[in-house]
Amino acid sequence: MTEIKRKKGETFESLLRRFSKKLQQSGKLIQTRKNRYYEKPKNRTKRKEDALRRKDIGEKREYLKKTGQLKEEPRTGYGRKSYR
């Protein structure tokens, strides 16, 4: 943790400037930004599996529509309501 103590008679702006400079020099800011969106490998594989499952379900649904085994129903109640 970067720690800065206020000098006697120092303004807040100069204190903040010194703190920012020291933080950048320490490299902690860059390291934190790199790890900001880190996702565990387990989550990555689960996300890929879920995407494949959704794709597979969509393909099966399209096949059933084409062969006439699935009846298309109009989708109602989705989207924004229009006020007249």
49-53 long-range Cβ contacts below 8 angstroms, 24+ apart: none
Query: pLDDT by residue (tens digit) across 21-40?
Result: 998 899 888 888 888 888 77
Q: What is the mean pLDDT of the chain?
A: 86
Closest CA to 24 of 46, 57, 2, 56: 2
Give the model's pLDDT for residue 83: 64
Residue 11 predicted with pLDDT over 90: yes
Mean pLDDT is lowest, of 15-29, 33-47, 68-82, for: 68-82
The reported pLDDT for the residue numbered 52 is 97
**Residue 31 and residue 38: Cα distance in Å, rounded?**
11
Predicted pLDDT at 61: 92
Dump pLDDT digits (tens) for 44-55: 889 899 999 999
pTM of this structure: 0.42
